[in-house]
Structure 1
């Protein structure tokens, strides 16, 4: 079964036609539990997310800040496995029809088997994979498997990426480009600065792929600020925090749905 890379492209194109950025939400699978995680991802789409990223929890998430590290730890202590990640993708996509990507570090995929992982992700209806720590020079095995199964391969670029490096990355990436808004780890920030806008400008000079910005967006005003210059606004830690801070699951799910609605309004406001 082919993946949903075409669906991902059509959703991003539709947002552009509507004169707005797409809203992309992130949650790790298995958090707070596998079943609750499926419900939370579904609530994000119901609230207004166009696209969702399901994280594969990792014991050493070097690019993630304390909020997502806490959620990953809860998921890992709960015994989450790759099969649970695939199940989360499958059930979230089936429930919402939205494009669902997996965001993962390379090591778990490498150990599991890139071909096997791509096949199972595609069979579940996944749209692609975001691989923040996989160098393009070492990505051929994965990219071939992803292409064979109709999956996007999304690479991450950072403000430190030189123009020639950006061109090398965007030449082989598909789906969209994930632009990290600042140097450092994930987490909410007081502001999402000029570095992000400059990175989007430089990235667009190398590719026609949509450029989505993540790291630091936590509320509607910040979403509107980023939406002025990005094709997509990616939010993760703020959603995780709603679940972490909630006294019970139902309150957390309501908080996730509400936040998605506020952010969806923000990406339409654009500043």
Structure 2
């Protein structure tokens, strides 16, 4: 409940929240530090930190490359845990981990959750773990209070959304379109109907991600969702213009 309460409290002063995504260790942990500083100082409400994995199946080419480059540089789960603890001690916003289930399985579910909790992580996004296979995962989530985030997709049926809602806490991540991250999403009639189905399925805040790239995108989502998720756009920006470009970009989104 802590994550949901924190987000709802922040919503008292904003029309919509911003959640951003970084890949830990890309291009370096020092760059991550600077990017997070600029994000927080310019109004980001929540940060999703990705523990890199060799086959990030939900991610498009920008985040895929970031994962691969981070791993090639030697990034470890232990380093990610240490970095998360450092950031959560510095900044008073929720930090989440996003990763793939193999990382958690290899680390061990019980020690992973315990260490994430110790590091100040409030939520966990694992796109490739079906709820039917997550009994121990959800047991550890309940035990530690690290919130498991569920994902809706345009292909999710109403009955599937209901099943996911039974396991949902914090907020629900609504994938804006079919496919992987990075490509711009179109907010058309089909999208609005999909968001209506998401809203009908849960009372939790809705976060919309995959292809959110501009102030216009966020304005379109305002009033329809509680959280806009910016991912590949900031990684592209760091690649092209350096970490110092992140602050002005975040400011431009409001």
Structure 1 length-normalised TM: 0.89
CA contact (8 A) 2:213 2:230 kept: yes
Q: Which residue of 2 aligns with 1:256?
A: 246
Question: In 1, distance between residues paired with 2:51 and 2:189?
Answer: 30
Question: In 2, distance between residues paired with 1:41 and 1:188?
Answer: 23
How far the C-alpha of 1:194 sits from its partner, in A, is 3.9
Question: In 1, distance between residues paired with 2:46 and 2:93?
Answer: 6
Segments of 4+ moved more than 6 angstroms: none
How far the C-alpha of 1:141 sits from its partner, in A, is 0.8
Q: Which residue of 2 aligns with 1:17?
A: 12
Q: Any idea what the Cα deviations from partners look like across 1:219-252, whole Å, max 9, x if unmatched? A: 1111111223111101100111111112xxxxx2
Match of 2:93 among 80, 95, 98: 98
Q: Any idea what the Cα deviations from partners look like across 1:43-76, whole Å, max 9, x if unmatched? A: 2111211000000111111111111111112211
How far the C-alpha of 1:19 sits from its partner, in A, is 5.2
Q: Which residue of 1 aligns with 2:25?
A: 30
Q: Which residue of 2 aligns with 1:142?
A: 137
RMSD of aligned Cα (Å): 1.5
Q: Which residue of 2 aligns with 1:121?
A: 116
* Larger CA deviation: 210-219 vs 199-208: 199-208
Secondary structure of the 2:201 match is: coil
How far the C-alpha of 1:97 sits from its partner, in A, is 1.2
Question: In 2, distance between residues paired with 1:26 and 1:43?
Answer: 13
Q: Any idea what the Cα deviations from partners look like across 1:75-110, whole Å, max 9, x if unmatched? A: 111101111221222222222111000001111111
Q: Which residue of 2 aligns with 1:162?
A: 157
CA contact (8 A) 1:42 1:92 kept: no
CA contact (8 A) 2:185 2:210 kept: no
Q: Which residue of 2 aligns with 1:48?
A: 43
Question: In 2, distance between residues paired with 1:48 and 1:41?
Answer: 11
Structure 2 length-normalised TM: 0.95
- 2:214 equivalent to 1:229: no
Question: In 1, distance between residues paired with 2:129 and 2:100?
Answer: 7
CA contact (8 A) 1:177 1:210 kept: yes
